[in-house]
Structure 1
Amino acid sequence: MKSSDDGGLDGLGIGALAARFGLAAHVLRHWEAMGLLHPGRDAGGRRRYGADDLTRVATILLLKEAGLGLNTIRSLTTGADRATRHAILGPAAEELRSTIAAARASLELIEGGLNCDFEDVTQCPNYRRLITERVGTTQ
């Protein structure tokens, strides 16, 4: 499936598209080989990217930034129905929730150390509470 809407653009070459998104041209070629991009070709066989392709690259980048791999992105962007989308994104969302919870706990520990008036951080109330919770006994 080639890009049909060039939004009035003559079409960007691979170098121009790559530069627009701060990518190396080989990244776009790799995405094409994986079936993520389907650029049109000019009379000389050179890739030409239109408005739909720009949207597609932006979509790929957003999904990558969300932590999804290229195979997952391909599954999501090739007409996945609602059930498939939920099956793919559900575990990814749960993994992200776990990562966020771990980051919050780390931040709480670090901020507790920053806000503690004791010389020895192990004497700080926040630190002692977290250790007690980890050990599972009361001191």
Structure 2
Amino acid sequence: MKSSEDSGAGVMSIGTLAARFGLATHVLRHWESKGLLHPGRDAGGRRRYGADDLTRVAIILLSKEAGLGLDTIRSLSATVDRATRHKILRPEAEELRSRIAAARASLELIEGGLNCEYEDVTQCPNYRRLVAEQAVPRVPAHGRA
């Protein structure tokens, strides 16, 4: 028989909440120290987490999975202003687009090696094209070498 603490509908201890997400309790304490969680306390001073905390932990995990850092997550959770949210998320989206482009290029190189019929992968036309593209001199965005 489950206690009301484990039911998911009531108040949970730090251990119960951490276990629900497969986290160590020190992770929740760290997030609290960063201002991401604000658990209530019982008469003995023990942390008590409710449904809102459960939702917040899920949001933190999803945000981290998307590549956002804890400071960015805290900034996002502290704003309800759309313009501020956009100001925070635009550079994150651009960084993610860059990482996706780099991952696609890496996958193209790897798949080229897998599909190459030559013994020496450096003889494959696709591989040579990718190498030639990489060897092109690049001018930094600010115009200086």
Equivalent position of 1:97 in the other structure: 97
Q: Give the corresponding residue for 1:133.
A: 133
- SS of 2:37's partner is coil
The residue correspondences of 1:1-139 to structure 2 (distance < 5 A) are 9-136=9-136
What RMSD over aligned residues (CA atoms) do the two structures have, in Å?
1.7
How far 1:133 sits from its partner (Å)? 2.5
CA offset at residue 8 of structure 1? 8.2
Count of matched residue positions in the alignment of Structure 1 and Structure 2: 130
Task: Give the secondary-structure state (helix, strand or coil) at the position aligned to 2:16.
Answer: helix
* Structure 1 residue 10, shift from structure 2 partner: 3.2
After the TM superposition, which parts of structure 1 deviate over 6 Å for at least 4 consecutive aligned residues?
none
Identity %: 78
Q: Which runs of 5+ in 2 are unaligned?
A: 1-6, 137-145
Q: Deviation of residue 22 (structure 1)?
A: 1.0
Offset from partner CA, 1:100-124 (integer Å, 9 cap, x none): 1111111111111111111111110
Following the alignment from structure 1 to structure 2, what is the Cα–Cα distance between the partners of residues 135 and 50?
Answer: 56
Gapped regions of structure 1 (runs ≥ 5) = 1-6
Under a length normalisation based on structure 2, what TM-score does the superposition of the two structures give? 0.83
- Distance in 1 (CA, whole Å) between partners of 2:8 and 2:57 is 18
Q: Distance in 1 between matches of 2:8 and 2:128?
A: 64
Deviation by residue 1:71-128 (Cα, 9 ceiling, x = unmatched):
1111001124111111111111111111111111111111111111111111101011
Query: Residues of 1 paired with 2:14 and 2:134: CA distance?
Result: 53
Deviation track 1:3-49 (CA, whole Å, cap 9, x = no partner) reads xxxx9833000111111111111111121122111111222221111
1:134, CA displacement in angstroms? 3.0
Matched residue SS, 1:118: coil
